[in-house]
Amino acid sequence: MTHTPDALVQHHAANLAGRDFVVGDLHGCVEALRFLLREVEFDTARDRLFSVGDLVDRGEREQCEQALALLDKPWFYAVLGNHEDALCAVAEGKMPRNRWYGIGGGWAQSVPDAELVHYAQRLRQLPLARVVGEGEKRFNIIHAEFFGDDAALDSGQFDSVVRERMLWGRDLVLGTGDPARHALSLTFCGHTPVREVRQIGSQVFIDTGAFITEGRLTMVEALTSRIWSVSQVEALAHGAAAIVLP
């Protein structure tokens, strides 16, 4: 199963009733997410949580499956990450399991093929980009990076090079890309771990390495300066395992 252009970009109306949050690469660190949702007093009736992708890999099976279960929450909106794309490639016979295990998919060694196919069918419904609001209040969510303006993003006409960049690109963070030439609204990205939230041009990188021992899971409130972060260890020490996701 592959994306169709209509599914590549999903638009959301501005949230006039509550708050919008964006969370960095989760990689199965669900306890850290539980802690952060409690910290911000997340209201499922009014608030929304957007994800830059990479819900799975580099974690244990139970945590990765709990992360995938977030996709069924009505307040949770993810984009496809490169690790979800790899899972789909394995399920579709386009990538050997061992290659996936080498980049963090080891949690799935005991997961039957049929179950992987089920996950892949759900993940292939995720867009490469989400667009929230309009005008000055607009913001975008992608996984890695995007070289283009809002019109190019809205078009959903992504060739293989652009798609690869949106899932795997690191040029902006590595300093080999020029973000200044693109009229792009504020865009939240993950993929490349950074020590702290970092803005390059209009693209804001919020993956602070939750799966790394010294790393943290970061969540921001969109269109504000509010940032929260916590390590998986700290979250567990503060009782996050007992917190029930809303």
Do residues 218 and 52 lie in contact, with contact meaning Cβ atoms separated by under 8 Å? no
Where are the domains positioned within the chain? 5-238
The amino acid at 148:
G
pLDDT at 1: 37
Assign domain 5-238 one CATH number from 3.60.21.10, 3.40.50.2000, 3.30.200.20, 1.20.1250.20: 3.60.21.10
Give the pTM. 0.95
Enumerate the β-bridge partners of residue 121.
none
What does the alpha-carbon distance between residue 61 and residue 120 come to, in Å, rounded to a whole number? 16
The amino acid at 240:
A
pLDDT tens, position by position, 100-121: 999 999 999 999 999 999 999 9
What does the alpha-carbon distance between residue 115 and residue 163 come to, in Å, rounded to a whole number? 26
One of 11, 27, 83, 143 is an active-site residue; which one?
83
In which residue are the tokens 């999903």 written?
10
The amino acid at 153:
L
Taking the alpha carbons of 243, 55, 141, 11 in that order, is the dihedral positive or negative?
A: negative
pLDDT at 180: 63
pLDDT at 176: 82
Enumerate the β-bridge partners of residue 242.
none
Residue ranges of the chain with pLDDT lower than 50?
Answer: 1-6
In which residue are the tokens 């865009």 written?
187
Q: Is 83 a catalytic residue?
A: yes
Any idea how long the chain is? 246
What does the alpha-carbon distance between residue 208 and residue 204 come to, in Å, rounded to a whole number? 12
pLDDT at 4: 43
What does the alpha-carbon distance between residue 39 and residue 50 come to, in Å, rounded to a whole number? 17
